[in-house]
């Protein structure tokens, strides 16, 4: 019986290694990170440019390894984080705090992005709103969010989010 339990544990370990996805680079088309790809390791910066949407589905874990100062940079594009009450989307930063947030919005129409049932675990910053250089498009409007939890991390806003993690405003 004990042997069977051990075999079971070993099999789970192998499955999760095989399920690992490394993600980096600029997304050229709308992209869905589904549970089949989870856990997703951010092994380089991810860019989400104009007219591109990144959707992250319920149950997906997004890991920021401790050996990279990487972020998901939503620069003109949009991000839909679609967790559910039973299965949140988990953003986990391993290791130390660094200069990038897990997710940064820059020059984006924030009302096209939303967070539903998301969990962020630091110490790396969770969400940054960053200003563009003068003359370039700035972030506009407000991100919709519901049931977002921040554990040892925070929102860092250059714009109008309040820093207590409450950025839910309905339009």
Ligand X SMILES: *[C@@H]1O[C@H](CO)[C@@H](O)[C@H](O)[C@H]1NC(C)=O
The least CB distance from residue 164 to ligand X, in Å, is 7
For residues 65 and 42, the answer to whether their CB atoms sit within 8 Å is: yes
DSSP letter at 61 equals: E
Which residue's CB is nearer to ligand X, number 76 or number 155? 155
Min dist CB 92 to ligand X, Å, is 9
Q: Could you list the residues that contact ligand X (CB under 6 A)?
A: 22, 43, 121, 151-152, 166, 168-169
Give Cβ neighbours of residue 103 (< 8 Å, ≥ 6 apart). Answer: 71, 72, 74, 79, 91, 126, 127, 128
Picking from 55, 30, 154, the residue whose alpha carbon sits closest to that of residue 113 is 55
Task: Single out the residue of 49, 65, 82, 61 nearest to residue 19, CA to CA.
Answer: 61
Longest CA–CA span in the chain (Å) reads 68
Q: Closest CB to ligand X among 51 and 66? A: 66
Shortest distance in whole angstroms from residue 162 CB to ligand X = 8
Measured from the CB of residue 104, what is the shortest distance to ligand X in angstroms? 22
Contact 19, 59 (CB under 8 A): no
We find the least distance from the C-beta atom of residue 3 to ligand X, in angstroms, to be 31
């Amino acid at each position: 019986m004990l042997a069977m339990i051990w075999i079971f544990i070993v099999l789970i370990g192998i499955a999760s290694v095989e399920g690992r996805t490394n993600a980096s680079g600029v997304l050229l088309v709308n992209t869905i990170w589904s549970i089949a790809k989870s856990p997703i390791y951010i092994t380089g910066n991810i860019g989400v440019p104009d007219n591109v949407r990144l959707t992250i589905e319920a149950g997906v874990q997004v890991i920021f390894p401790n050996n990279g100062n990487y972020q998901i940079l939503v620069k003109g594009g949009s991000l839909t984080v679609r967790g559910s009450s039973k299965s949140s989307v988990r953003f986990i930063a391993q290791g130390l705090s660094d200069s990038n947030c897990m997710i940064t919005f820059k020059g984006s129409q924030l009302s096209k992005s939303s967070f539903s049932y998301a969990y962020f675990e630091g110490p790396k910053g969770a969400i940054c709103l960053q200003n563009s250089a003068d003359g370039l498009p700035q972030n506009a409007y407000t991100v919709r969010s519901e049931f977002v939890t921040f554990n040892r991390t925070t929102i860092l806003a250059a714009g109008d989010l309040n820093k207590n993690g409450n950025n839910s405003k309905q339009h």
